[in-house]
Structure 1
Amino acid sequence: MEHSKHTRVTEFIMQGLFDHPHHQGLFFVLFLCLYIAVVMGNSLIIVAIIIHPPLHTPMYFFIANLALIDILCTSSVVPKMLENLMQEKKTISFGGCITQLFVLTSSLVTELPLLAVMSYDRYVAICHPLHYVKLMRKEICIPLAVSVWAVGTISSFINILLVLHLDFCGPNLIQHFFGEFPTILALSCSSIYVNEIMMFMAYIFLAMGNFLPTTMSYSFIIITILKIQSSKGKQRAFSTCSSHLLVVTLYYSTTIYTYMQPTSSNLQDNDKMVAIMYTLVTPTLNPVIYNLRNKEVKVAIRKILPFTTK
């Protein structure tokens, strides 16, 4: 059966998260609780940073941006996933899929340069503390944050425009629980050569381009910490960057696994598990990581939630 060149599907069918229909209710409750934790935890971090003057520093300014990214990333995927968990036919409209794809990729791409900027902030604080106020003043931090968001938004927008120029004339089954560029491109009946080239360039320039300066920053940080004579000094210096280092490790470990895992029969299931990690688990952990040993954040949260224990 021949399809018109301009035929477009009006909706996509999602494969879903798990093939356990009897456990859908349990998964719904679990992921709903995690989603609430992501939104509430990261919102709490943002409000705490805004209302507590001691947190008005470059490091916490960028942490607030990271919290906002986590909310956007999770909110682009989880509400629709929860809706589909309770439905037999798991669908998403073409426009809804494109919107989800744009918000998700914008947030994920934005996080790459943001983590690099946060690594540079820790590098300046530990390796050049006397110049920190000058190098990380407001006039520099705000343009850095704007640039980070611009990179993610523009990169995602360009790739979305290229997707919109493709023809989708069937099939319409997305073998995932949300739309990603590879799964969407696989359904196109047009040539996706340009799309693949652009995705490859984005991966090289954005992923590797931000991974290298992040690695370099922490290499200099580790060298500087090792040169400190006192154990208390080393501990104090490491505590200022340990939270961010853990976040970077979580983010890049899932990213590297996604792109470097070998092809296998369980590839789709592995992809789903990794997707759960970077869209739900990591955004849930980030507020805990930054709040766990930080006295100033705890003080700010007590202002918002007076009933919390000391």
Structure 2
Amino acid sequence: MTAAAPYLVADIGGTNARFGWVAAGGSAVTQVRTLPVPAHAGPAEAARAYLVGLKRDLGAAYRAPQRAAFAVATAVAGDRVELTNSHWSFSRAAVQADLGLDVLLMLNDFEALALSLPRLDAAQLRAHGGVLPRPSGTLAVIGPGTGLGVAGVVQTAQGWLALPGEGGHATLAPADEFESELLARVRRDHAHVSAERLLSGIGLPVLHGAVAAVLGQPVSVPMSTEAIVEAGVGGADALSARTLDAFCALLGSFAGNVALTLGARGGVYIGGGIVPRLGERFFASRFRERFESKGRFRSYLEGIPTALITDTLAALGGAALAIEQA
């Protein structure tokens, strides 16, 4: 049974907190506002600021929410929540009491993003080869952002069940001699080379340095992720372009591993903030080729659609689904 609406939903990161409103069960998230995390003492204060503005905008149509779901960029276990990249440290129960809520769900941000997958439509996605994922069975999402998020969602008789995890910290495997040299170079500084070590905002400069070293073009001043993407997308800097090529190939191989591990035959989605900035370079890259390149299981992977999530507010929809299914 769908819980009584309206719902308050939020997607909270280290810099910004996005709040949204679901007026009726099953309807879209509306009234989205972005509030700066540093400007507020905690989520209760930010939520109250959002609700004050919403009440002003909606007037007589406003009703105080009784249920809410917050997606947070940190691991969620127990009552205490501490955001990795901000000063917010809070008790879920205290926030619930402060806001007068009957229910407050606290989700990992990738758990919420995974729950958004079944409802994403063509306007929110860009698919490889024009073949959209099928919202049935098992789906997976991988998101190179500041870190590397990985999650899945499984269709059950009771609804969609999210499978949050820490797949970004799984060991990254090379698929050719060049990648073997890259990983060997990175292992000089890091005993464990995880997928996140190279396939993320914190990892792209590491990958850039390794590519430079393997090619015999050492970089005297390390480049930021933003600079590598900007210089590489248009091909203005050959070393940055080669780094992005390696990034897409490694990401494709890793995504294929996730698809095999979860049995995500409904589709694999790419989220996060990095890949959308690559534009056509991503779709012209070896991502899909490497996704399918799994030897005897090539045909298995060939049947799994892959798509880029273009909607930056998708996690809010996943938070709304979590409330409806609670």
Same fold (TM over 0.5): no
- More strand, by proportion: 2
TM-score (norm 1): 0.31
Give the number of the structure with larger relative contact order, counting CA–CA contacts within 8 Å between residues 6 or more apart: 1
Q: Which has the higher helix share?
A: 1
